[in-house]
Amino acid sequence: MIALVLCSDPRHPVWPRLVEWCDRQPMAAVTYDVGDLECSGADVLLLVSCTQIIPPAVRAKFKRCLVIHESALPEGRGWSPMAWQVRQGQRDIVVSLIECADPVDSGGILAQRCFTLEGHELADEINARRDAVRLDLMDWAVANPEASAVPQQGEGTAYRRLTEDDHRLDAEGSIAAQFDVLRACDDRFPAWFEHRGHRYHVALRKA
């Protein structure tokens, strides 16, 4: 089976892990260029941290088009589900392997995995835990090309796109009250606050 992995941003923390995964596969490649989908010749397209909407005509070029989404679908469809759940203080995180379908994140579920956060992990640790599960599901997808999907049940919920204002901290608030927002942010989307006429970025690291 020939696999193509599409990740929207080569700066994303998962990118080096996707490159390593493709290096271990006999026929796999990773790209951030949607134009590569038209002529890839791949059997399966895996969408990982992908913000683009792939139209049906492009999806039809593949035997399977699959999405890895970090929520217990149909709850938590939409954008940045991992970051939203961390911000909300959730500890048990479900990662779903689903068929790509319209509307977004509504496709049938092929497999799910769960991992648990203890509540102290920072963005790099959270990403590492999540990505290990993602890669496991990618291995499963390649090993089970004929697996059947189970339709999602219920209307579910959806997350909106995070904006810069979502990363803003209350300069008068406590660190403890805003800790989950802080640890969900990373170098690409840093937490920030304004004080005495200036804006400041905030980054956490463990001592």
- Whole-number pLDDT of residue 39: 79
Ordered by where they begin, the domains of the chain are: 3-158 (3.40.50.170), 163-202 (no CATH)
- Tell me the pLDDT band of 112, cut-offs 50, 70 and 90: very high
Mean pLDDT, to the nearest integer, of 97-107? 96
Mean pLDDT, to the nearest integer, of 158-179? 96
Given a cut of 90, whether residue 26 has pLDDT beyond it is no
Give the 3-state secondary structure percentages of the chain, helix then strand then coil, rounded to 5: 30, 25, 45
Q: Which residue has the higher pLDDT, 1 or 136?
A: 136
Rounded to an integer, what distance in angstroms lies between the CA atom of residue 60 and that of residue 202? 44
Residue whose structure tokens are 């579910």: 156
- Whole-number pLDDT of residue 41: 86
- Whole-number pLDDT of residue 15: 96
Handedness of CA 119, 165, 130, 124 (dihedral sign): negative
Structure tokens at 155: 């209307």
Rounded to an integer, what distance in angstroms lies between the CA atom of residue 174 and that of residue 184? 16
- Whole-number pLDDT of residue 40: 82
pLDDT digit string, tens, across residues 29-58: 999 999 889 878 899 999 999 998 999 999
Q: Where are the beta strands (DSSP E) in 49-183?
A: 64-69, 77-78, 92-99, 109-116, 158-159
Task: Write the DSSP symbol of residue 170.
Answer: -
**DSSP secondary structure string for all residues of 126-163:** HHHHHHHHHHHHHHHHHH-TTPPPBPP-S---EEPPP-
- Whole-number pLDDT of residue 28: 95
